[in-house]
């Protein structure tokens, strides 16, 4: 049985066709303006699921990048402080060597060396209490404002695992250093050692035997700097790897989520032409009515 085609049927069909053309043109206009392939997951569920996964990976990689940046700030600060401490302790060793030549030194010269040694001790204490973002880099996880107490040279930090940063899915790195290990603590600290040498110089004693004590403490600081350098290299490698992963993820995201601008513009122009043609055809076809057919 052949269905009857009425003018109402033709009108409805024409409107549906034009609405579909309008929707297609509007979608292409959005793509051209936003450079995005879809607005909602319902438009392309598979691509939306892939995009959500990539965005999740990008968020994780971005967090690792922040951890790496913060970790690098810590280890760089530690390395700088240990480097300055090494230079200061080498100077203290030279001064102690001069003070060991007790027979050739006047009381004034001894006093001058003693004062410089005390100054170096204070500068070493300042280096040992170095902070980054308000936290001591030699106090471990302690929230103390300083790693060592002035005067007694007591260690105020928390020994143990220390401050760590996660730099990848499977890797963490310690970014501080145990101040007690590097500088000693209390009467056995490098600060107390230099003050003791200064006191012995003022008392006229021979401080030559103290060179071994300085060398032992210098060895600890150099070893600490070597450990810190290894951690710095580890963070640099992780940073390079993280940047590579970030670049790959962005390429994947763009491949799924972005559109080809030239292709979209061509399709938009085609959709515009189809829409205009549909308008003209619809306008002409709907002009014919029953009376015109009966003429």
Residue-wise pLDDT for 177-222, tens only, equals 999 999 999 999 999 999 999 999 998 888 989 999 999 999 999 9
Cβ proximity of 74 and 137 under 8 Å: yes
**Could you tell me the residue ranges of all domains in the chain?**
53-253
82, with CB counted inside 10 A (0-12, 13-18, 19+), is: buried
Question: What pLDDT does residue 268 have?
Answer: 58
- pLDDT of 258 higher than 70: no
Cβ proximity of 244 and 68 under 8 Å: no
3-state secondary structure 54-122: HHHHHHHHHHHHHHHHHHHHHHHHHHHHHHHHHHHHHHHHHHHHHHHCHHHCCHHHHHHHHHHHHHHHH
Vertex 199 angle, CA 193 and 204, to 5°: 125
Query: What's the rounded mean pLDDT across residues 221-237?
Result: 96
Q: Looking at residue 189, what DSSP letter applies?
A: S
At 272, the pLDDT band (50, 70, 90 cuts) reads low
Question: What pLDDT does residue 181 have?
Answer: 94
- pLDDT of 1 higher than 50: no
Note the pLDDT tens digit of each residue in 119-176.
999 999 999 999 998 899 999 999 888 999 999 999 999 887 799 999 999 999 999 9
Stated pTM of the model? 0.76
- Closest-CA residue to 115 (of 183, 195, 178): 195
Q: Of residues 253 and 280, which shows the higher confidence score?
A: 253
Cβ proximity of 159 and 177 under 8 Å: no
At 6, the pLDDT band (50, 70, 90 cuts) reads low
* Rounded distance between C-alpha atoms, residue 187 and residue 84, angstroms: 22
* Domain 53-253 listed as CATH 1.20.1330.10: yes
Cβ proximity of 32 and 266 under 8 Å: no
């Amino acid at each position: 049985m052949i269905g009857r085609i009425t003018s109402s049927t033709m009108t409805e069909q024409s409107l549906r066709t034009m609405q579909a053309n309008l929707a297609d043109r509007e979608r292409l206009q959005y793509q051209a303006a936003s450079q995005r392939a879809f607005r909602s997951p319902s438009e392309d569920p598979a691509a939306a699921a892939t995009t959500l996964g990539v965005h999740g990976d990008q968020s994780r990689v971005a967090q690792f990048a922040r951890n790496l940046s913060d970790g690098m700030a810590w280890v760089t600060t530690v390395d700088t402080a240990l480097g300055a401490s090494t230079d200061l302790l080498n100077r203290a060793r030279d001064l102690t060597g001069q003070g060991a030549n007790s027979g050739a030194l006047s009381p004034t010269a001894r006093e001058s060396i003693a004062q410089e040694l005390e100054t170096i001790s204070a500068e070493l204490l300042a280096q040992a209490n170095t902070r980054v973002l308000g936290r001591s880099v030699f106090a471990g996880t302690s929230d103390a404002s300083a790693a060592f107490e002035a005067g007694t040279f007591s260690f105020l930090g928390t020994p143990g695992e220390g401050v760590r940063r996660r730099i990848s899915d499977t890797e963490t790195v310690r970014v501080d250093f145990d101040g007690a290990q590097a500088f000693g603590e209390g009467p056995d600290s490098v600060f107390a050692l230099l003050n003791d040498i200064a006191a012995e110089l003022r008392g006229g004693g021979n401080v030559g035997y103290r060179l071994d004590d300085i060398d032992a403490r210098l060895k600890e600081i150099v070893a600490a700097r070597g450990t810190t350098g290894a951690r710095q290299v580890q963070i640099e490698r992780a940073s390079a790897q993280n940047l590579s992963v970030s670049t790959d993820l962005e390429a994947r995201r763009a491949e799924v989520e972005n559109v080809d601008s030239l292709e979209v513009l061509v399709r938009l122009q085609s959709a515009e032409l189809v829409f205009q043609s549909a308008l003209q055809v619809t306008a002409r076809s709907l002009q014919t009515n029953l009376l015109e057919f009966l003429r």
